[in-house]
Structure 1
Amino acid sequence: MDRFAKYLLTGLICIVAGGQFVQVVTRYVLEIPVMGLEETMVYPTIWLYLLGAVNASREDTHIRANVLEIFLKTERQHAVLAVIGEVVSLVVGLWLLSWAWDFTRYSLRVGKESPTLYIPTFYADVALFAGMVLMMLYTLLHLVKHIRIILTAEKAP
């Protein structure tokens, strides 16, 4: 799974960077803008953004301002703080996930299309729901990991 995520993110970065390169060359060097290129670049950009957030969730490398960790001494105390943070993240994330699901259903029902190329916007809209599902899955896995740390720290002499 890690290898797949790495290649997918790399591929999306290359697509976005390549599209921007083509846009700069055609617009500013050749002075011939490519119609619809910006519109098509929205799709991989949105997926890249959300899958990057999923990757940060998978690696547990989100930016945090854990000031309380300065005052905590033991691994168990750090794990308790992490459990509190993961539970809050899970509650807020599940609430946002319900909104993302409603938005996905709305997007599928309405059937919007992009203005120039008539690409269904559902392909970009569903990225929000997919990303939230994966982030909540990884948050749950990290919560279980921290709970195990607390339970094993209690058994230790």
Structure 2
Amino acid sequence: MDRFAKYLLTTLICIVALGQFVQVVTRYILQVPVMGLEETMLYPTLWLYILGAVNASRENTHIRANVLEIFLKTDRQHTILAIVGEVISLVVGLWLLSWAWDFTRYAWRVWKESPTLYIPTFYSDVALVIGLALMMLYTAINMYGHIKDLRRRAVR
């Protein structure tokens, strides 16, 4: 799974970079803008953004501002703080996931299309619900790991 994520994210970032390069060359050097390039770049850009957040959840490398860690002395206290943080993340994330699911159902029902190329926007809209579901899965896995770590320390 790690290998697939690495190659997918690399492919998406290359597509986005290439699209931006073409945009700059055609628009500013050749003075001929490519119609619809912004629309087509929306899809890999959005998926890259969402899957990048999923990757941060998978690796447990999200940016955190754990100010309370300064005042905590023991590893047990740090683990308990991590569990509390994961629980809060799960509650907020599941709430957002329910909104994303409602939005996905709406996007499926309405089936909007992009204005120039008529590409269905559902394919970018669905990224949000898939991304949030995966982030909640990895958050739950991380929380389970912290709980397991806390139990292991309690046994000692």
TM-score w.r.t. length of structure 2: 0.98
Which residue matches 2:56?
Answer: 56
Q: Structure 1 runs of 4+ off > 4 angstroms? A: none
Q: Secondary structure at the match of 1:62?
A: coil
| Gap runs ≥5 in structure 2 | none
Deviations 1:59-114 (A, max 9, x none): 11111111111122222111100000000000000000000000000000001000
Q: What is the alpha-carbon distance in structure 1 between the residues aligned to residue 75 and residue 58 of structure 2?
A: 21
Q: What is the alpha-carbon distance in structure 1 between the residues aligned to residue 142 and residue 75 of structure 2?
A: 15
2:142 maps to amino acid: H
TM-score w.r.t. length of structure 1: 0.98
| Gap runs ≥5 in structure 1 | none
- 1:44 is aligned to 2:44: yes
- 1:75 is aligned to 2:75: yes
Kindly state the Cα deviation for residue 12 of structure 1 after the two structures are TM-superposed: 0.4
- 1:95 is aligned to 2:95: yes
Which residue matches 1:134?
Answer: 134
Which residue matches 2:13?
Answer: 13
Which residue matches 2:116?
Answer: 116
Residues paired across the two proteins, number: 156
Cα-Cα RMSD: 0.6
Q: What is the alpha-carbon distance in structure 1 between the residues aligned to residue 68 and residue 31 of structure 2?
A: 55
Q: What is the alpha-carbon distance in structure 2 between the residues aligned to residue 28 and residue 150 of structure 1?
A: 57
